[in-house]
Amino acid sequence: MDMNLEVLILAAGKGKRMRSARPKVLHALGGRSLLCHVYTAARRLEPDSVVVVYGHGGDAVKQQLPDIDAHWVLQAQQRGTGHAVQLGLTALASLEPSVVLVLYGDVPLINPDTLQPLIEQGATGALALLSVRLENPTGYGRIVRDHEGIVQRIVEEADASASERAIDEVSTGIIAVPGSVLSELIEKLDCDNAQGEYYLTDIVAHAVQRGVPVAATLAENQDEVLGVNSRAQLAHMERIYQRRVAQALMDGGATLADPARLDVRGELRTGVDVFIDVGCVFEGTVTLGDRTQVGPYCVIRDSEMAADAQILAHTVIDGATLGERVSVGPFARLRPGSRLAPSSKVGNFVEMKNAELGERSKVNHLSYVGDAQLGRDVNIGAGTITCNYDGAYKHRTQIGDGVFVGSNTALVAPVTLGDGATVGAGSTINKDVPAGDLAVARAQQKAVRDWQRPSKKKT
* pLDDT at residue 57, as a whole number: 79
Are residues 347 and 294 part of one domain? yes
Q: Would you say 320 and 340 are in contact if contact means Cβ atoms under 8 Å apart? A: yes
Helix (H, G, I), strand (E, B) or coil at 234: helix
Task: Write the CATH number for 112.
Answer: 3.90.550.10
Q: How many Å is the maximal CA-CA distance in the chain?
A: 98
Question: Residues of the chain whose pLDDT is less than 70?
Answer: 1, 93-94
Domain annotation covers residue 170:
yes
CA atoms of 296 and 135, how far apart (whole Å): 38
User: Is 71 marked active-site?
Assistant: no
How many C-alpha atoms does 347 have within 13 Å on its Cβ side? 13
CATH number, domain with residue 328: 2.160.10.10
| Domain end call among 225, 242, 260 | 225
Looking only at the bridges linking them, the beta strands covering 169-178 and 98-104 are antiparallel
Are 267 and 209 in the same domain? no
Same-domain check for residues 184 and 104: yes
Per the rule left: phi > 0, alpha: psi between -120 and 50, beta: everything else, 108 is alpha
What is the C-alpha separation between 424 and 406, in angstroms, rounded? 5
**Domain co-membership, 42 together with 80:** yes
Q: How far is CA 360 from CA 100, 378, 417, in A?
A: 59, 7, 18
Helix (H, G, I), strand (E, B) or coil at 197: coil
Residues 265 and 217 in one domain: no
Question: Pseudo-torsion of CA 378, 384, 390, 392, nearest 10°?
Answer: 80
Task: Tell me how far apart the alpha carbons of residues 206 and 5 are, in angstroms, rounded to a whole number.
Answer: 23
Q: 322 and 239: one domain?
A: yes
Q: Taking CA 230 as the corner, what is the angle to CA 225 and CA 234, rounded to the nearest 5 degrees? A: 60
Residue 87 lies in a domain: yes
Residue finishing a domain among 197, 225, 253: 225
Q: Is 141 in the same domain as 261?
A: no
d(CA 167, CA 162): 9
In a domain, 28, yes or no: yes
Asked whether residue 265 falls in the same domain as residue 147, the answer is: no
Query: Where does 351-426 show beta strands of DSSP type E?
Result: 351-357, 362-365, 368-374, 379-380, 385-387, 397-399, 404-405, 410-412, 415-417, 422-423
From residue 216, alpha-carbon distances to 102, 127, 172, 276 in Å are 14, 8, 11, 43
- SS3 for 31-59 is CEEHHHHHHHHHHCCCCCEEEEEECCCCH
DSSP 8-state symbol, 360:
T
Distance CA 442, CA 440 (A): 6
Domains: count for the chain: 2
pLDDT at residue 93, rounded to an integer: 66
Indicate whether 238 and 182 sit together in one domain.
Answer: no
Whether residue 20 is found in the same domain as residue 149: yes
CA atoms within 13 A on the CB side of 70: 31
Q: What is the DSSP string of 156-186?
A: -GGG--HHHHT--EEEEEEEEEEHHHHHHHH
Residues 150 and 285 in one domain: no
First to last CA, the chain: 64
Are 155 and 76 found together in one domain?
Answer: yes
Of 225, 251, 278, at which residue does a domain stop? Answer: 225
Is 312 among the domain residues? yes
Q: Which pLDDT score is estimated for 337? A: 98
Residue 455 domain flag: no
Q: For 60, which DSSP code? A: H
Burial class (CB in 10 A: 0-12, 13-18, 19+), 419: middle
- DSSP label of 389: B
Predicted confidence at residue 94, as pLDDT, reads 67
Phi and psi at 281, nearest 5°, equal -125, 130
Residue 446 in any domain: the answer is no
Q: Catalytic one among 147, 314, 365, 395?
A: 365
Helices 34-43 and 112-123: crossing angle in degrees, nearest 10, is 50
Q: What is the span of the domain harbouring residue 238?
A: 231-439
Q: What is the reported pLDDT for 435?
A: 96
In-domain check, residue 452: no
Sheet holding 438-439, edge to edge: 255-256, 275-276, 293-294, 310-311, 327-328, 345-348, 362-365, 379-380, 404-405, 422-423, 438-439
Residue 20 lies in a domain: yes
